[in-house]
C-alpha cells in the first residue's frame, strides 16, 4: 500500500462478477483517486480463462489480493465476486475493515437455484458467444460506455459459470454475514433482481448500511460507475 506522507493510503480490493474480469474495475482508478485499488481475475475469467474454477483457487485468489493490499483493506465484490467475498470474509473474521456487496443479496438457496442451473444447462444449446453478444448489447443499451463497454468479455468466461454458481448455491447464506466482524454495505440497483433478499442479509449483519442506486439494474458497476464509486468511497472513508 502506498503512503502519502506518514499516513497510509486506504486500500480497496475489488472482485468482479460472472464472466467479467479485473478489467471491469480499471475505469474506477480515475474515479477513486487517493485509494489504492487491488484487482484480480478469478479462476476461469480474464487472463485466467480456461483455468478450472474451484473453491480453493477462488478463495486463494482473494487471499492473495487481500495480502497484496496490506493491513486490513476494504473488500468489495459484484455479483459472483460479492458472494465469494462473503464466504471469504466469514472465514477470516476481522481481516478486512469493511465489506461491500454489490448485487449479491439474493439468497441463492431459493428459486435462484433452479434459474442458474437451468441457464447453465441451456448455455451449450444456445451458444456461449451468442449469449455473450446479447448480454453485451444489453449492457450497452443500459448505459455501459467507453472503458466500461470496452471491458465487456466474449463467451469464453461462461465456461466457469456452472462451477462458480454451484459453489455460491451450496455455500452462501445470509447468516454468514454474522461472522465477518466488520461493517457491511449492501448495494443494489433499484431494478436489480439480486436485491430481493437484502433485508434478510441485513438482519444477519451486525453493522450494516443498505444503499439502493436509483434507476440502476444488476449491471450497475458498468452502467452507473459514478454512483457505485461514490458508495465505495464512502465505505472506505467510513471504515477509516
* pLDDT per position as a tens digit, 186-200: 999 999 988 999 999
* pTM for this prediction: 0.86
Find which of 84-88, 107-111, 125-129, 147-151 is predicted with most confidence, using mean pLDDT.
Answer: 84-88
Summarize the confidence of residues 114-139 as an average pLDDT.
59
pLDDT (0 to 100) of residue 159: 78
Summarize the confidence of residues 56-79 as an average pLDDT.
96
CB atoms within 10 A of CB 29: 13
CATH superfamily of the 3-239 domain: Alpha/Beta hydrolase fold, catalytic domain (3.40.50.1820)
Cα 185 to Cα 102, 103, 105, 190: the distances in Å are: 8, 11, 11, 15
Q: Does position 137 have pLDDT exceeding 90, yes or no?
A: no
127's CB contacts (< 8 A; 6+ apart) are: 155
pLDDT (0 to 100) of residue 122: 54
Q: Does position 60 have pLDDT exceeding 90, yes or no?
A: yes
SS3 category, 208:
strand
State the helix-helix crossing angle for 161-171 and 80-91, rounded to 10 degrees. Answer: 50
Q: Does position 157 have pLDDT exceeding 80, yes or no?
A: no
Cα–Cα distance, 221 to 40 (Å, whole number): 16
CA atoms within 13 A on the CB side of 237: 9
Q: Does position 152 have pLDDT exceeding 80, yes or no?
A: no
Q: How confident is the model at residue 161 (pLDDT cuts 50, 70, 90)?
A: confident
Domain locations in the chain? 3-239
If you average pLDDT over every residue of the chain, what do you get?
A: 87
Amino acid at each position: 500500500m502506498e503512503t502519502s506522507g506518514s499516513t497510509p493510503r486506504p486500500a480497496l480490493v475489488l472482485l468482479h462478477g460472472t464472466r467479467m474480469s479485473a478489467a471491469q474495475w480499471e475505469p474506477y482508478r480515475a474515479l477513486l483517486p487517493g485509494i489504492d485499488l487491488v484487482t484480480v481475475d478469478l479462476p476461469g475469467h480474464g487472463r485466467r480463462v480456461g483455468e478450472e474454477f474451484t473453491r480453493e483457487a477462488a478463495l486463494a485468489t482473494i487471499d492473495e489480493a487481500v495480502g497484496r493490499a496490506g493491513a486490513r483493506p476494504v473488500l468489495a465484490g459484484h455479483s459472483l465476486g460479492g458472494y465469494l467475498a462473503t464466504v471469504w470474509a466469514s472465514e477470516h473474521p476481522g481481516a478486512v475493515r469493511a465489506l461491500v456487496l454489490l448485487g449479491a443479496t439474493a439468497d441463492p438457496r431459493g428459486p435462484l437455484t433452479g434459474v442458474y442451473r437451468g441457464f447453465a444447462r441451456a448455455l451449450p444449446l444456445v451458444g456461449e458467444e451468442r449469449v455473450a453478444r446479447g448480454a453485451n448489447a444489453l449492457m450497452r443499451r443500459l448505459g455501459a460506455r467507453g472503458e466500461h463497454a470496452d471491458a465487456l468479455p466474449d463467451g469464453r468466461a461462461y465456461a466457469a459459470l456452472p462451477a462458480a454458481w454451484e459453489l455460491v448455491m451450496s455455500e452462501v447464506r445470509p447468516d454468514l454475514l454474522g461472522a465477518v466482524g466488520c461493517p457491511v454495505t449492501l448495494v443494489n440497483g433499484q431494478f436489480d433482481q439480486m436485491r430481493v433478499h437484502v433485508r434478510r442479509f441485513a438482519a444477519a449483519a451486525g453493522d450494516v448500511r443498505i444503499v439502493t442506486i436509483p434507476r440502476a439494474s444488476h449491471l450497475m458497476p458498468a452502467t452507473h460507475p459514478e454512483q457505485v464509486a461514490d458508495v465505495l468511497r464512502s465505505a472506505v472513508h467510513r471504515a477509516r
